[in-house]
Amino acid sequence: MSLYEKIRSCMDDKDTEGYLSLMHDDFVFVRHQAGVEVSKEDWAPNLKAMMESDMLEIINDRCLYENDDILVMHQVMKFPDGTSEAVMIVNTLSGGKIIRTETGATPLSS
């Protein structure tokens, strides 16, 4: 099973612990809004809140490219406030786990 398929399975099952197990111990998330880097420990509560929320809708999630070094994904996210964003997610991999995630988002008009 590809890493993308594992991520999708975790998201479908709302399995936060499974998703976190796909992340390297030295994982860093780069917040696209401010370029701030967040550790795995600090990112975990945000990931849990997003995955468990029925108010966040992810549409048309797809893998654009995957190999042993990188996983590039794209999705549209609909937020509880009615806004939507097209989100590009670039995961850098190390030893089969995600070591760095950077996102870029474009607001979509409703």
pLDDT, one tens digit per residue, over 18-68 is 999 999 999 999 987 777 999 999 999 989 988 888 888 999 999 999 999
So what's the pLDDT on residue 1? Answer: 85
Q: What percent of the chain has pLDDT over 70?
A: 99
Least confidently predicted of 34-38, 83-87, 98-102, 104-108: 34-38
Q: What is the pLDDT of residue 109?
A: 82
Q: What is the CATH number of domain 3-108?
A: 3.10.450.50
| Maximum alpha-carbon separation in the chain | 40
Cα 54 from Cα 13, distance rounded (Å): 13
